[in-house]
Amino acid sequence: MNKQEAYLEALDRQGLFEDSAHRTRFKELLDCYGHYPFFNKGLCKCMYLSAWDEEHFAIILGVLTELALGRERDTEEMRIQGEAMAEEHMGGEYYVYQMSNAFLDNRRFELEEGAELSEEFQHIISQALKAEQVIDQVNPES
């Protein structure tokens, strides 16, 4: 089993895909970008989070295409873009971008005290935190 299959299977086993579209988008990102030198567990977590809906999927797809065309070896440029995007948003969207940045920085994401989120964003963040734990446990060499 390759590393892309290992991540997909681990998340499947835990029932962490919201629906088949979420799973399909995540799989497409893994299939297209899982073999690039900039791929790592942090990016895999971002892929899970971004595959949640079409809008975020399109955003990460554009960013990853730029990284691939630029022959990037890390996600530093993606991190810079993520910070800029976070500053352009408020509420749940802001925290989703902050979470993505935490994943890329390999640090634990924590909501600010008093953060007000809709139920939808509470659910997305909660599921992404569960996915983070699953992804961290995958041994991509197996």
Model pLDDT for residues 39-87, shown as the tens digit of each residue = 999 999 999 999 999 999 999 999 999 889 988 888 888 877 878 888 8
Q: Can you tell me which residue has the tokens 């499947």? A: 12
Task: Give SS3 for 40.
Answer: coil
Give dist(CA 35, CA 18) in Å, integer.
25
The predicted structure's pLDDT at residue 13: 96
- What are 103-129's pLDDT values in tens digits? 999 999 988 888 888 999 999 999 999
DSSP state of 112: P
pTM: 0.91
Q: Cβ distance 86 to 94 under 8 Å? A: yes
Please say if the pLDDT value at position 27 is more than 60.
yes
Residue closest to 131 by CA, chosen among 92, 105, 87, 99: 99
